[in-house]
């Protein structure tokens, strides 16, 4: 049993034995650095159940715990806080008892583990992935790994928005000015080529609109007459009616985009277990709408449109089918949700990784699914995240001011190369090893900078700042890992046996206390769907190790001391690598 759990149980027993009252929750936290102690019981919440002065209750509780828990050596009371001093032997035994260091904190995934689907990426096929997609992909991929580390079966999926007017715009522009060019002809990635025509469409649209306005047509009227826009709308109607030529062009250009996406995903280090396509699912929700109408969940207005009344839930009426019988986004999402459940009837939940501009949409989606009687609707979760900004301002796809993912990743690798080369610590690496290292540092810096921020918060992303080797950055953590590997390699003497006679330095005790929190940190992060908790845990671990490294000689002349410190450093390195692995970040052994 973990010591924290033992303390909690005894606090609850104290309340019953001494005061005849039950306490459900006990707040226990690491003692603040500027106070004596290792674990702190916060007494103030207990005063709701036990009538006493804070200091008197803390002293009484401290005596009770010390008499019943052998690991508690002493205690101090500071106002309403009971600071417990834990015997060194407990922490030595904790390190010694780690049977499988590589799997420390990781829960095994079994056939009986709960299954969760995680949806992320979900791009449009009219442009390359950009900085916003990077945050989406990194959150989805790291959350998937986090949930897996917490013992869940995880299925990674996405829905690709491969149809609609925005897709037709790229197709119309390519037909107009493309001269049949392909990615093979231009040397471009397919998604970049298609994206270029999406931007070209906007330029052509603006020029044609200006010509109409110059001819004396009012702007609002002119917008309804722009030839290239009318052509795109006609192409969409042709696609929906199954026009063979339009479908063939659509399939060809989407194929270029998928090839481009695959390369970006590979470079970013993300993958998927299944793919859904809007072109296959956009009609699925209509059957659900019919069922909802017949059961009275939905109602039809005089114009034929179908709605769901959510006023009892504090919302308004929501359109689920247009008057002309065509789908809206919610229609498709209802159908896709049901399709996924049919494909995975054993799922225990699903996480949608989508930006916070869709908060209302997902609130409505989950409410409607619940009204329709799907019991699994209560297990759906929207991982809502803030947008990513650059110092240069907001991005606009149609104007071509988007920072595409490929360009940003290359910039990160180039920045890592410049910094790593200037530090002059690449001796002994051949050219391919250097290229691999630049990728690990650059992409690791990008991932860490984004994932260390709470998902709900907006990010101002600064590429150069993210590759700094000091501060709360990926390279700072990677460097600590490489340092530990160098120490272990230098010693060549890691036996793993620990003497229980070691007297712990305060820095060693701080490290051990923080290491012990790793399994609970994974559990908490999974419950909160927050990889940021892992990122900041690892950063705090590295800070503690660096402080420890500066104070003691790890390769001590005393064999027992050396073996203990090597084992401690090794376990710190393992947890760094494990935590960074949850974030999708590699830890090079040399930097």
Q: Averaged in consecutive runs of 10 residues, what is the pLDDT profile of the chain (591 residues)?
A: 90 94 91 90 93 94 97 94 96 93 95 97 94 95 98 97 94 97 96 96 97 95 96 95 97 97 97 95 89 95 96 93 88 94 95 96 96 94 91 50 84 89 77 93 96 94 86 95 93 77 92 95 96 98 96 92 94 98 96 81
3-state secondary structure at position 181: coil
Residue 449 to residue 457: CA distance in whole angstroms: 13
Q: Residue 392: its pLDDT value, please?
A: 64
Domain 405-582 class in CATH: mainly alpha
Distances (CA, A) of 323 to 326, 327, 329, 471, 497: 7, 10, 15, 57, 75
Q: Residue 396: its pLDDT value, please?
A: 47
Q: Residue 241: its pLDDT value, please?
A: 93
DSSP 188-257: --HHHHHHHHHHHHHHHHHHHHHHHHHTT--HHHHHTT-HHHHHHHHHHHHHHTT-HHHHHHHHHHHHHH
Q: Which tokens in the block code for residue 243? A: 């026009």
Distances (CA, A) of 427 to 1, 253, 307, 421: 47, 46, 67, 10
Query: Tens digit of pLDDT for each residue in 160-204?
Result: 999 999 999 999 999 999 999 999 999 999 999 999 999 999 999
Fold matches, 3-86 and 115-389: no
Q: Residue 398: its pLDDT value, please?
A: 43
Q: Residue 481: its pLDDT value, please?
A: 97
Query: Tens digit of pLDDT for each residue in 69-79?
Result: 999 999 999 98
Asked if 532 contacts 452 with a C-beta cutoff of 8 angstroms, the reply is yes
Domain 3-86 class in CATH: alpha beta
What residues does each domain of the chain span?
3-86, 115-389, 405-582
DSSP 61-120: HHHHHHHH-TTEEEEEEETTEEEEEEPHHHHHHHHHT-S-GGGTTPPPP-TTS-EEEEE-
The number of CA neighbours under 13 Å toward the Cβ of 8 is 12
Domain with residues 115-389, CATH architecture? 3-Layer(aba) Sandwich (3.40)
Count each helix (H run) and each strand (E run) in the chain, helices first: 22, 14
User: Using N-to-C axis directions, what is the helix angle for 131-149 and 244-268, rounded to 10°?
Assistant: 60
Residue 129 to residue 384: CA distance in whole angstroms: 19
Q: Which tokens in the block code for residue 261? A: 């996406």
């Amino acid at each position: 049993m973990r010591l924290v759990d033992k303390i909690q149980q005894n606090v609850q027993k104290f309340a019953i034995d001494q005061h005849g009252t039950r306490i459900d929750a006990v707040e226990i936290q690491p003692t603040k650095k500027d106070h004596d102690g290792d674990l702190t019981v916060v007494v103030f919440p207990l005063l709701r159940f036990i009538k006493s002065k804070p200091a008197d209750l803390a002293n009484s509780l401290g005596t009770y715990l010390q008499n019943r828990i052998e690991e508690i050596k002493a205690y101090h009371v500071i106002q309403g806080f009971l600071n417990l001093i834990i015997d060194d032997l407990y922490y030595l035994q904790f390190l010694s008892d780690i049977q499988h260091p590589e799997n420390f904190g990781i829960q095994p995934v079994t056939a009986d583990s709960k299954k969760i689907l995680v949806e992320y990426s979900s791009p449009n096929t009219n442009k390359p992935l950009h900085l916003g997609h990077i945050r989406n992909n990194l959150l989805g991929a790291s959350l998937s790994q986090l949930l897996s580390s917490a013992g869940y079966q995880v299925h990674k999926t996405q829905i690709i928005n491969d149809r609609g007017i925005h897709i037709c715009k790229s197709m119309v522009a390519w037909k107009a000015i493309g001269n049949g060019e392909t990615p093979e002809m231009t040397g471009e990635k397919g998604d970049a080529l298609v994206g270029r025509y999406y931007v070209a469409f906007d330029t052509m649209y603006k020029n044609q609109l200006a010509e109409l306005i110059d001819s004396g047509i009012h702007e609002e009227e002119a917008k309804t007459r722009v030839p290239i826009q009318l052509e795109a709308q006609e192409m969409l109607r042709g696609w929906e009616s199954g026009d063979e030529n339009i479908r063939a062009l659509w399939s060809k250009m989407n194929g270029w985009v998928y090839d481009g996406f695959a390369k970006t995903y590979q470079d970013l280090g993300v993958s998927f277990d299944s793919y859904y396509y809007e072109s296959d699912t956009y009609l699925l929700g209509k059957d659900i709408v019919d069922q909802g109408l017949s059961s009275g969940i939905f109602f039809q207005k005089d114009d034929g449109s179908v709605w769901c009344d959510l006023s009892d839930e504090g919302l308004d009426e929501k359109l689920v089918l247009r008057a002309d019988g065509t789908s809206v986004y919610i229609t498709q999402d209802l159908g896709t949700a049901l399709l996924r459940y049919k494909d995975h009837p054993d799922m225990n939940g699903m996480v949608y990784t989508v930006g916070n501009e869709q908060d209302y949409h997902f609130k409505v989606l989950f409410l409607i699914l619940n009204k329709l009687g799907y019991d699994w609707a209560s297990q759906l979760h929207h991982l809502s995240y803030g947008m990513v900004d650059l110092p240069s301002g907001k991005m606009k796809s149609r104007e071509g001011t988007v920072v595409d993912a490929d360009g940003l990743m290359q910039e990160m690798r180039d920045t890592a190369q410049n910094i790593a080369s200037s530090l002059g610590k690449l001796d002994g690496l051949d050219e391919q090893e250097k290229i691999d290292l630049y990728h690990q540092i650059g992409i690791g810096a990008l991932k860490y900078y984004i994932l260390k921020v709470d998902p709900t918060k907006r990010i101002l992303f600064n590429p150069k700042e993210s590759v700094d080797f000091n501060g709360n950055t990926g390279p700072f953590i990677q460097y600590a890992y490489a340092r530990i590997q160098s120490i272990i390699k230098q010693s060549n003497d890691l036996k793993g046996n620990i003497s229980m006679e070691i007297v712990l330095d305060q820095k060693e005790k701080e490290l051990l206390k923080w290491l012990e929190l790793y399994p609970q940190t994974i559990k908490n992060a999974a419950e909160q769907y927050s990889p940021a908790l892992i990122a900041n845990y690892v950063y705090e671990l590295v800070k503690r190790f660096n402080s420890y490294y500066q104070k003691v000689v790890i390769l001590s002349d005393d064999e027992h001391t050396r073996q203990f410190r090597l084992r401690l450093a090794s376990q710190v390195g393992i947890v760094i690598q494990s935590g960074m692995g949850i974030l999708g970040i590699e830890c090079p052994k040399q930097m």
